[in-house]
A and B are shown apart, each in its own frame.
Chain A
Amino acid sequence: MTDISKITLVELVTKIKSKQISAFEATNAYVERIKKSKKLNAFITETLDEALSSAKQIDKLNTKNGLLSGAPIAVKDLFCTKNVLTTASSKILKNFIPTYESTVTSKLWDEGAILLGKLNCDEFAMGSSNETSAYGNVINPYKSSKDELVPGGSSGGCSAAVAGNLTSATVGTDTGGSIRQPASFTGIVGFKPTYGRCSRWGIVAFASSLDQAGPMTKDVADSALMLDVITGYDEKDSTSANIKKEEFLKSLNKNIKGLKVGIPKEYIVDNMPKAIQSLWEKGVQLMKDSGAIIKNVSLPHTKYALPTYYIVAPAEASSNLARYDGVRYGLRVPGKDLIEMYENTRAQGFGNEVKRRIMIGTYVLSSGYYDAYYLKAQQVRRLIKNDFDSVFNEVDTILTPTAPSSAFKIGAKTEDPISMYLNDVFTVPINLAGLPAISIPGGSDESGLPLGLQLIGKPFDEQTVLNAAYALEEKIEFKSNVNDWWF
């Protein structure tokens, strides 16, 4: 018998609709695995009993018209879920039960998906290894000899859950690489849509001009299906794009003959491991074999993207996180007066990385420093976007590696914040420019750990990115070798 947890989302939904598998069987298959996978620490909250009874209900009423009918799905704990604990992996929200549902997750349930639980992530999505979570590290289902590895971040619970077959698919969020880098570290597909494609309403905000929700899935077709569900205009988010909804899965096409693919020379960085360089070269060759036209392009301001990001994102975060004051929800730590209560609450409620970013953000926005840092960063952000605008006059998509390394050991980069930030060197520019980009598994390094390739597209041209990824995926033939060692 096929292992239900290993089939793709598209296949699973087809089988549930045609009654080859019941929603209950599907849900139970995941529930059984989740129960045996505590070691990975991918979940902060499990809603397994509720999931099983929803599945029974779906089978009983035979309501299987949705795009995701009966698909068991866990989501990043950054999405507000009505009546289900939502922590953003922070102690400051350890008891926060939202009274409403985020737009993106409500679209999942409207299409018949079943909530399995809430997935661990870096605190307020600030991190690249899931080590800033107040709920502990997540363990990568991939292991190198005896060492346990990080699953990437910030959507590390998401990447571990998809790679470990603990959810049929998931939604994460990506502010500087938080969907794509963990996808690369765990051999799965992660898609960050164009800024404005998905509503941000009900997502715990980190950096509002950069945050975007997106799917993390077993393959490219699954991402197309998830995008069909979660994208769309929402009047509750003033930056949500008021444009026609597309049918990405239906339009998926692996014919990329004549597609113009840009290779940016600035993405060849110092100390890039050889495996990543050759993976990239292999990707170029495979696209050529599929009939694509390869062009060398230049994005001259690439090296300034990370410094720009580490001004813009903390500035926006310091403003967004001002709401956590111990008054209306979350943790409250008493003080002798109101101000001291705020200060004590925030000192005890936030972890170190979050405090660092609030402090940096407050500094660059403070009187006397605003022009020197924040305004300058916004000007450089314009230059970075201009680079992409001009390259996209010549090409349809850009191919790069997703991350400068494979998954690293837990604790390897926690001492030095900058070394952690460098993980996002290839993903951050895309958020600053607001573009869509996907990470797909491209191969493995010498230790057998997965490495991702990133395809970047023009604004709102997700379809070209998906098609290029679909073609590349077929040629690469990546196979997961996750072997359930933690059982």
Chain B
Amino acid sequence: MTINKETVKKISKLSRIASNDEFEVSMIKDLNSILKFVEQLNELNIKDIEPLSSVVEQKLFQREDVVNKINEKKDILKNSPEKNENYFVVPKVIE
């Protein structure tokens, strides 16, 4: 088993997903079966093959640095679960 309970706990921490026993049991099963499936790739000799991260061949471009009046603060804040004046409110971060 590549993935045990400890690993699931660690990944769920990294993923910022709260974990519990039931979640861990189902993840151990599913993640191991998915990893077993993807490990087929080990059959291949991939030495010296350049990784392909995107099929796009064009270079990134720069655009003019001009101000556009889109996405105004007051509109964006309307979607916030909790706000105060012009700010998003979150639980206290600094003691």
Contacts and interface: CB of A to CB of B under 8 A. Distances in A.
Contacts of B56: 195-196, 239, 241, 434
Interface string B68-85: 001110011011111000
Q: Tell me the dominant secondary structure on chain A's binding face.
A: helix
Contacts of B54: 209, 239
Contacts of B55: 195-196, 209, 385, 433-434, 459
A42 B51 CA distance: 39
B27 A356 contact: yes
B51 A359 contact: no
A53 B53 CA distance: 46
A274 B37 CA distance: 26
Contacts, number: 167
A197 B39 CA distance: 33
B71 to A, nearest CB: 6
B86 interface: no
A385 B40 CA distance: 18
B52 A417 contact: no
Contact of B46 (A318, A342, A383): A383
B90 interface: yes
B31 A360 contact: yes
B58 A241 contact: yes
B67 interface: no
Nearest to A380: B41
Contact of B16 (A195, A241, A339): A339
A100 B91 contact: no
B58 A417 contact: no
Interface in A232-267: 235, 238-239, 241-242
Contacts of B51: 375, 378-379, 381-382
Nearest to B27: A359
B60 interface: yes
B46 A379 contact: yes
A466 interface: no
Interface in A275-319: 301, 303-304, 306-308, 310-311, 318
A362 B15 contact: yes
Contacts of A239: 54, 56
A356 B55 CA distance: 26
B60 A307 contact: no
A303 B92 contact: no
Q: Tell me the dominant secondary structure on chain B's binding face.
A: loop
Nearest to B7: A363
Contacts of A378: 51-53
Contacts of B46: 376, 379-380, 383
Contact of A417 (B8, B15, B33, B71): B33
A303 to B, nearest CB: 7
A242 to B, nearest CB: 6
B79 to A, nearest CB: 4
A173 B12 CA distance: 28
A338 B90 contact: yes
Contacts of B11: 359, 362-363, 366
B91 A335 contact: yes
Contacts of A311: 38, 41
Interface string A161-172: 000000000000
B71 A99 contact: yes
Interface in B36-65: 37-41, 44, 46, 49-56, 58, 60-61, 63
Interface centre among B7, B17, B71, B91 (most CB of A within 10 A): B17
Interface centre among B3, B16, B44, B50 (most CB of A within 10 A): B16
A350 interface: yes
Interface centre among B15, B40, B53, B54 (most CB of A within 10 A): B15
Contacts of B63: 235
Contacts of A242: 58, 61
B15 A346 contact: yes
A95 B82 CA distance: 13
A239 B55 CA distance: 9
A385 B41 contact: no
A378 B17 CA distance: 27
A318 B15 contact: yes
A99 B75 contact: yes
Interface string B5-36: 00110011011111100010011001101110
Contact of A380 (B34, B35, B44): B44
Contacts of B39: 307
A322 B18 CA distance: 14
A457 interface: no
B30 A356 contact: yes
5 contacts: A301-B44, A346-B18, A363-B11, A373-B38, A375-B51
